[in-house]
Amino acid sequence: MPNSPRRRSPASRLRCFVVMRIGDPGTDAIYDRLIEPTVRRIGLVPRRIDRVMHNERIDQRILRELQTCHVVVSDLTFARPSVYWESGFAEGRSAPVVYTCRKDHFKHRVDDEFGNFKVHFDLQTKNIISWTSAKDQRFRRQLERRLRYVLRPVFKQRAIAEEQEGEEQAFAALSMANRRERVVDAIIRDARRLGFRGRREDADIHDARFWTKWFSVAQYAANLAYDQPRSAHTGLVLVVPKLTKSALRTIRDRIYGRPIDDERVKKAREKQLAIFDHAIVVSFAPVSPNLISETLPYFHRSLAKAWLAWLAVTMDWAHPGPRQRRSTWLHVISNVKSERQAREKIKQVLESIGQT
């Protein structure tokens, strides 16, 4: 894991807001010679209010800096009330605050009538980094280590985000056919690891001639099967560029009127197993839940799922003998930007099926 984020534009890099006594030769020297260079060394953008170009009220600008920064360095030297207030504000929004202070502020001074040369009691328990002068290299090293430590989760999250961005860009560069094929093949592999049986079941030339709408939807498809002691689950995976209203109607006509796999339903009826059909649709474009609800009026949305899911319960009228209920699920994974994203979301669906 890298210790610092990759080089980015100033607008997107992590920002460190420094609050301290401004205008004092000693504290200004600490900032110029130690704090600012250290902050820059680990890849952050240092911000101090008197060094920020703006055209606002200064209190408004300070609030904005505190609300948008990733870490705060708070120097408690001279016990400035504003520094204490700004530090508390930052801690209130859970931003990490690294406290520093001149070394002579840790012991009570008899001549310090107003408490300007000490760390006040409410912050005395903090792990404060002390400094002696602008030449204090021990302070510089400690400050750098502390900043890297408190920003480790932020650096990690930034690295993950950059990795995901790279994956999405590489995925978007593929042809649509390649994207669809990679996703459906990855789903089959992952399903097998979870105990499903799976195979490709793309629409064929017969569909292209006699059911063109289904051919366009099911060019890249898979059939999944999962058996439990009291239930039989059949899955139909469809990977589409965009789940349109026409595609939804086609899927509805395929899964609502008859089982996904007639032979499996027949065997399940003989064993008196509960029958579950699952249509799992992966769409690279966003999908409106309202569109699905309007197009599938006999399906009821399940808000218990972490993805878009609808359920319809029908009686099995296709076979003679005692009627048996068949539960038909439609699971929709939308706005998929990478193969990994599709696999992670589909895994949740498959694990849910395995627990039914």
For 68-124, write each residue's pLDDT tens digit: 999 999 999 999 999 999 999 999 998 999 999 999 999 888 888 888 899 998 899
Per-residue pLDDT band for 353 (boundaries 50, 70, 90) equals: very high
Per-residue pLDDT band for 9 (boundaries 50, 70, 90) equals: very low
| Residue percentage of the chain with pLDDT more than 70 | 94
What is the rounded average pLDDT of the residues 173-202? Answer: 96
Residue 6 scores a pLDDT above 80: no
Residue 260: closest CA among 300, 297, 228, 233: 233
Largest CA distance in the chain: 100
**b/e map of 20-46 (b: 16 or more CB within 10 Å)?**
bbbeeeebbebbeebbbebbeebbbbb
Residue-range domain boundaries for the chain = 15-159, 175-354
SS3 325: strand
Phi-psi region of 214 (alpha: psi -120 to 50; beta: other; left: phi over 0): alpha
**Which contiguous run of DSSP H or E holds residue 248?**
helix 245-255
Residue 5 scores a pLDDT above 50: no
Pairing, β 15-19 against β 325-333: unpaired
d(CA 263, CA 231): 15
Level-2 CATH architecture, domain 15-159? 3-Layer(aba) Sandwich (3.40)
Q: 316 phi and psi, to 5 degrees? A: -80, 90
